[in-house]
Amino acid sequence: MRIPRASIALVILVLLVAFSRVQAISAASAQVETPGARTLVGAIFGVTNRADEPDEEERLDPDRPHFPEASTTVGKGRMMLESGYTFSYKGTSTRSHSVPEAVLRIGLFADWFELRVGDNFVREAQPVGRGRSSGRGVDDVYLGVKLAVSEQWLYVPRIAVIPQMTVPIDTRTGTAGPVLPGLNVDCSWDVVKGLFNIELLIATNRVRDDAQRSHLEVATGLTAAVNIRRDLEMFIEWNAFYSPAGAPRDYAVGGLVYFIGKNAAIDARVGVGLNRQASDFLAGTGFAVRY
């Protein structure tokens, strides 16, 4: 299936216009609207948000920079933009730049439903003779939804699922390649609320390799995050990628997230590969803003 890039851009524009209309309708009916369910399980069993809960809004919960995404949604009528840059290298032969790693998260219909639209570009460079040659440019249009399934209950984690797909774009022709579907399951535990939490990701997605062939890849991520201060979080994580196309790739990553008020955050992270198949080093930075 070939999808013109202009058509994809038009779809994204229509989605944004629809979101603005939903915001207007939500604002007009805010005074008569009853509290809704935060999770899909709550919606199924009729468990709504408590009307007597504090009006004070919690700070944003971005997907980045942890490898596991947030197990919460952005909330009905809200929108969050996340973006960043990552540099990595392997030996002396390969340098990779990933930017803008952009994801627009849009809360629609209910607090537990989130629409996700994104794009990214990867540039790889390898030495040839005395100079360097540019590797493949990957311009993938990302589409997905996040469903907040359940809240944490005792040892049962907070759970969110993300059915998603990417549409690879050929940067030379401007045409789209085959759709690559996937599913992410994100879990989190508030071990000490507001101080220490653990996150887990299990992801199964079709991805492309350097030869432009697609294959199934399973990824796992385990993150431990500590709030050093109310506005500063430190985290460490282990990430692994498993594929029939090669041996597993394992990484150890650590970083910081600084929260600027309740609706913005900036982050930085560094990581190292734990085996020969992984990149030797990676570093990245980015931001998240909630509207």
d(C-alpha 277, C-alpha 239), whole Å: 13
Contact 82, 63 (CB under 8 A): yes
d(C-alpha 134, C-alpha 119), whole Å: 20
CA nearest to 110, candidates 58, 149, 71: 149
**Residue 172: its pLDDT value, please?**
58
Domain ranges of the chain: 5-290
**Residue 2: its pLDDT value, please?**
43
Count CB neighbours of 57 within 10 A: 11
CA distances to 53, 94, 127, 137, 191 from 91, rounded to whole Å, are 54, 7, 12, 20, 39
Which residues have CB under 8 Å from 219's CB, separation 6+?
67, 201, 202, 203, 204, 205, 239, 240, 241, 242
Pair of tokens at residue 246: 């090669």
The percent of the chain in helix, strand and coil, each rounded to the nearest 5, is 10, 55, 35
CA nearest to 81, candidates 110, 51, 119: 119
CA nearest to 44, candidates 115, 116, 114, 110: 110
What confidence tier does 243 reach under pLDDT thresholds 50, 70, 90?
confident
CA nearest to 163, candidates 40, 287, 11, 10: 40
What confidence tier does 53 reach under pLDDT thresholds 50, 70, 90?
low
Count CB neighbours of 144 within 10 A: 20
Report, as an integer, the average pLDDT of 11-35.
Answer: 49
- Judged by DSSP in three states, 259 sits in strand
**Residue 288: its pLDDT value, please?**
98
Question: For residue 49, which amino acid is it?
Answer: N
Contact 161, 147 (CB under 8 A): yes
* Range 5-290 classified under CATH 3.40.50.300: no
- pLDDT tens-digit series, residues 223-240: 999 999 999 999 999 999
Which residues have CB under 8 Å from 273's CB, separation 6+?
90, 249, 250, 251, 279, 280, 281
Where do the DSSP E strands lie in 111-213?
A: 113-128, 131-150, 158-170, 180-192, 196-208
Report, as an integer, the average pLDDT of 140-158.
Answer: 93
What confidence tier does 207 reach under pLDDT thresholds 50, 70, 90?
confident
